[in-house]
Structure 1
Amino acid sequence: MRHFDLIIIGSGSGNSILTEDYEGLDVALVDGGTFGGTCLNVGCIPTKMYAYPATVARHAREVERLGVEAEVTRVRWREMRDRIFGRIDAISRGGLDYRRSLPHVTVYAEHVRFTGPRTLRTASGEELTAEQIVVAAGSRPVLPEVPGIDLPQVHTSDTVMRIEELPRRVVVVGGGYIGAEFAHVFSSLGSRVTQVNRSHRILRYHDPEIAERFAREAARQWKLEMGWALASVTEAEGEDGAVTATFTDPEDPTLTMQIPADVVLVATGRRPNTDLLDVAAAGLDVREDGLLAVDEQQRALAGGTPAEGVWALGDISSPYQLKHVANAEARTVQHNLMHPGSLRATDHRFVPSAVFTSPQIASVGMTQAEAEQWAVEHGTEITTKVQDYGSTAYGWAMEDHVGLCKLIAEKGTGRLLGAHLIGEEASVLIQPLVQAMSFGLDAHTMARGQYWIHPALSEVVENALLGLEVPEHSPLAPEALVARR
């Protein structure tokens, strides 16, 4: 049995905990997957490295409205793939080699399970114990249990980016952000894409106005089929490598739809890896959604109270499944491990997210429905404003008829409650709104307390702020900014 000061399970955001402050500790870093975690190897980074050239290709096909004629003559898929993973795989190998080179770190490149409180067994049978354990073991794609799901033509986001050739026909199963991003990638690069969703609403966690606008634009770029559930995948006769995806109506299984494809991408969500760790053996609490239960300080819970010496972060314990959230939680754990007398909490108040599809989407805070319910509960009123990209000078330059910025605020104070954007660079335009919400800046002070570059696209945010029915002298506004106005 080997005893450590600290064991970290997972080499994604958990790996970032190990700074020079930990050089005096005997540390084990355990990961049976690819070193670097989801974001680096199969998530955020490679998907966006595909999404960017896909967006460039999409723009090339749509610039005719600006008086420019362009076309995409060829997509060199293998070259694109090898450029992406040539870089990523080197980072993964380099990170693993670096950790192995440190005298105070022991790397276990295998899976582990809990056998008791702060006690683990590796896949090879070695027993490990520690004073402190950080669980950062991530999540994995969910696959429906249907015939043919194990065929080589069926992929998840973990595998589809490494295929040999750009497929002619792609069926994307799922209406969430992963499905939306890959539908954009394959469609924009030249595949014939059909996206199929079980419900009749795509991107269901987004504000309905954003989801409806996206559905309209998505249907213009690829085929959308709503209200169908995947029933099976079968190899097609007489067509080498092809398959047929069969779908049924969830309410009437006798109604079926068949779609031929070269690749079927199943993007029906991800699940936390708690079930692979046997956390019950350590007495740790698991929520109904499968997440490892934690408190605000990222301490894992056992019987509703913090388990001694066990912490968790990232997809295994966070409902957000976002790298920037996992990094923030890692910073919390990093501090709390070394400063047990002054624990910090992770700030989850205003968590932004973005969908790198076409058009791009970004969101932070409450949807309109959530804000209306919040207003009823707090005896207040809200105000909303929808500002089209096309109402600004840069929107005119783009001939934009798609983008919009939707803001939601408390009427009496100007406190921003939610921001939802769809359109060009939405993930960038939302950042000042995240900043305003995080630091308590009211809408009017944000709009008039600073310069906005004219005629930059950011004016759509300025104009949306000015369109909200809020007081010019909010009780939230800093006195210095009130005086300047």
Structure 2
Amino acid sequence: MAQVDELECDVAVIGAGTAGLAAMRRALREGAKVLLVDDAFSGTMCANVGCMPSKLLIAAGNAAHDARHADVFGIGVDGIRVDGRRVMGRLRAERDRFAAATRKGFEDFPAGTMITGRARFLSATRLGLEDGRIITARAVVIATGGNPVIPKGFKEIADLCLTHETVFDLVDLPKSIAVIGGGPIGLELSQAFARLGVRTCLFDESETIGGVQDEAMQDLIQKAIGAELTLHLGVKTRGSRANTGARVHWSGAAEGAEIFDHVLIATGRPPQLRDLGLETTGIRLDENGTPEYDRESMQCGTAPIFIAGDANADVPVLHEASSEGRMAGRNAATYPTVVRTPRMTPFSMIFSQPVIARVGAEPTGASVFGTSDYDDQGRAKVEDEALGRVVIHAEPTRGRLTGALLFCPGAEHMAHLLVQAVAHGITASEMLSQPFYHPTLEEGLKPALREICSKIPASGDYDRSISPGS
């Protein structure tokens, strides 16, 4: 009988994406012996098929959009032409540089700590590898990420379907595309394709897009996005094969069918936990088969197992994955000593134009609100971007800011200002006591802050001056 190779370590990390790399680095800092298992070591999802290539497509779309609308400034730009092959060529070249930079980081790890292959739990502390070797660890970090799934209704035309893992490998821009799903990926890419001259339709079973429930904000978002592409909301979809491409059928709030070159599936990224052998670990799984865990320690029950990043189906954004990975790596290294760490202020963005940004906790019935409209804001009008709205909420005793929802020019930058204010417990009055330079987009926050102060009698003195367009 052949002898089975046994590998021993303090911490085994499954998955070399953003969360897994953060877990690996933190566990090493704690002095642990760590083994990192991944089937490809190709780099992070963000660099390869997520954040960076999507922003490259968005940047190209925005450039085309700006050129078409330069006439408002008296600048004639005649004969706008989008070269799809050059657009996609630049995207892939820059993406590959980003991905190469993340892979270069692997060189920092100690020799012999990276194992290429797939791992499967044999028990809570033993992993079986494809080549027959077994890893025994004191603790394990699951950081396997997520992956897109083609819905049942589109299996018939799976070869014509794209996901965020394949869309950026297009050699040329399609003439038409149907986007299924109005979440972050679907919203960003549908608008980018439309701005690049691709006939684009966005479909979603919900009657809202971007996950925004504020009715006034949702109306504004649909008006803005709907001016650039076709929206079919509140509908169920399925696909069938047509001679010239993919036929998308929709029914519900409306019914119809249309043929497209491709269908982009943007309905989410379920955790990649299949065939991981979680049933052997003794940890509790929810109805979807995802481990139940503590968000402030990343520990699964009381087991020596921790889970971080998209694998836990919680908050699919990079800074959260990195933070979760660090927590998981530290606690895995020091297990059975486990430290609970408060989570960062909630913060997410969708890079549509304008950007949709969320800051802080969801408002409660006791919250007070202030709103700012950007349809008449001075700097926004100067830039010909006078569209949008900001809602800021605060607790009702002192006006301490607790969160905000933004859909306006400059939102990706102003949201960072607001996340700091929320994290440090700053009040609306304290915000107004500091300078807002004129003319800036940030000035547009002042009406919302003033409204909050007007609802809180003890808010103190604040700047009541109103400058043009502020």
Q: TM-score range by the shorter chain?
A: 0.7 to 0.9
Give the superposition deviation at 1:194. Answer: 0.8
| Larger RCO (CA within 8 A; separation ≥ 6) | 2
Distance 1:437 1:5, change over 3 A: same
1:420-474 CA-partner distances (Å, limit 9, x unpaired)? 11122211111111111111111111221x2211111111123321222344755
Distance 1:429 1:157, change over 3 A: same
The answer to whether 1:27 aligns with 2:34 is: yes
Work out which of the residue numbers 423, 434, 437 in structure 1 matches 2:408: 423
Give the superposition deviation at 1:326. Answer: 0.7
Give the superposition deviation at 1:76. Answer: 3.1
Distance 1:311 1:114, change over 3 A: same
1:444 alignment partner, SS class = helix
Contact 1:291 1:319 in 2 (8 A): no
Give the superposition deviation at 1:182. Answer: 0.9
Contact 1:25 1:104 in 2 (8 A): no
Task: Please name the residue that 1:456 is paired with.
Answer: 440
Distance 1:217 1:321, change over 3 A: same
Counterpart Cα distance in 2 of 1:135 and 1:96: 20
Unaligned runs of 5+ residues in structure 2 are: 1-5, 463-470
Distance 1:335 1:355, change over 3 A: same
Give the superposition deviation at 1:289. Answer: 4.7
Worse overlay, 155-164 or 338-347 = 338-347
1:387-445 CA-partner distances (Å, limit 9, x unpaired)? 11244321231244412211122232202232011122211111111111111111111
Counterpart Cα distance in 1 of 2:123 and 2:338: 25
1:86-485 alignment to 2 at 5 Å?
Answer: 86-93=93-100, 95-96=102-103, 99=106, 102-234=109-241, 236-237=242-243, 239=244, 242-249=245-252, 256-301=255-300, 305-308=301-304, 310-339=305-334, 343-348=338-343, 350-367=345-362, 370-372=363-365, 375=366, 382-448=367-433, 450-468=434-452, 469-471=454-456, 474=459
Contact 2:239 2:246 in 1 (8 A): no
The answer to whether 1:10 aligns with 2:15 is: yes
Distance 1:439 1:79, change over 3 A: same
Amino acid at match of 1:291: T
Contact 1:272 1:316 in 2 (8 A): yes
Amino acid at match of 1:180: L
Distance 1:264 1:432, change over 3 A: same
Work out which of the residue numbers 61, 67, 78 in structure 2 matches 1:60: 67
Amino acid at match of 2:246: V
Counterpart Cα distance in 2 of 1:72 and 1:279: 58
2:152 alignment partner, SS class = coil
Counterpart Cα distance in 1 of 2:209 and 2:418: 25
1:259 alignment partner, SS class = strand
1:68-123 CA-partner distances (Å, limit 9, x unpaired)? 33357222333333333334334545644653674444322322221211211223
Counterpart Cα distance in 1 of 2:150 and 2:449: 43
1:229 alignment partner, SS class = strand
2:147 alignment partner, SS class = strand
Count matched residues: 453
Counterpart Cα distance in 2 of 1:98 and 1:395: 41
Counterpart Cα distance in 2 of 1:268 and 1:317: 17
Amino acid at match of 2:276: L
Counterpart Cα distance in 2 of 1:100 and 1:431: 33
Counterpart Cα distance in 2 of 1:317 and 1:428: 28
What TM-score does the superposition give when structure 1 sets the normalisation length?
0.85
